[in-house]
Amino acid sequence: MDVKELRQFGMTELEGRVRGWREELFRNRFAAQTSEKKDSSVFRKLRRDIARALTVINEKKQGREFQVIETKAAAAEAETPKKKAAPKKRATKKTASKEK
């Protein structure tokens, strides 16, 4: 699940989803041990979803909203207007006329 989607949920909904994902992770581990399940990529996906949800929960508990942090280069580029590139000069041929 995407972080943007998770930020739209309330605290109780997020905690419920984390509980559900943990139960699903447990069931998938149990199924893998009993050779019922072959797809191991589910573990990684569930762990990452749990981590994302816990991050959003902690952000909400601290009372801060997520802000996009710009790099210095991106901020400087946004502030300065772009200049048009000067047209390139054509290279001239230097002909050395040697008389024979």
Q: Span 20-31, mean pLDDT?
A: 93
Give the range of the structural domain holding residue 50, as residue numbers without chain letter. Answer: 3-63
Look up residue 95 and give its DSSP letter.
Answer: -
Indicate the residue type of 23.
Answer: E
What is the C-alpha to C-alpha distance for residues 12 and 29, in angstroms, rounded to an integer? 26
Between the alpha carbon of residue 77 and those of residues 30, 86, 95, the distances in Å are: 52, 19, 44
If one counts the domains in the chain, the total is 1
Q: Tell me if 71 is assigned to some domain.
A: no
11-33 helix and 41-62 helix, angle to the nearest 10 degrees? 160
Local confidence band at 79 (pLDDT 50, 70, 90 cut-offs) = low
Q: What is the pLDDT of residues 3-18, one digit of tens each?
A: 889 999 999 999 999 9
CB half-sphere exposure, 80, CA atoms < 13 A: 9
Higher pLDDT, 93 or 74: 93
Domain CATH for 51: 1.10.287
Assess contact for 52 and 6: CB atoms under 8 A.
Answer: yes
What is the C-alpha to C-alpha distance for residues 56 and 69, in angstroms, rounded to an integer? 17
Q: Tell me if 57 is assigned to some domain.
A: yes
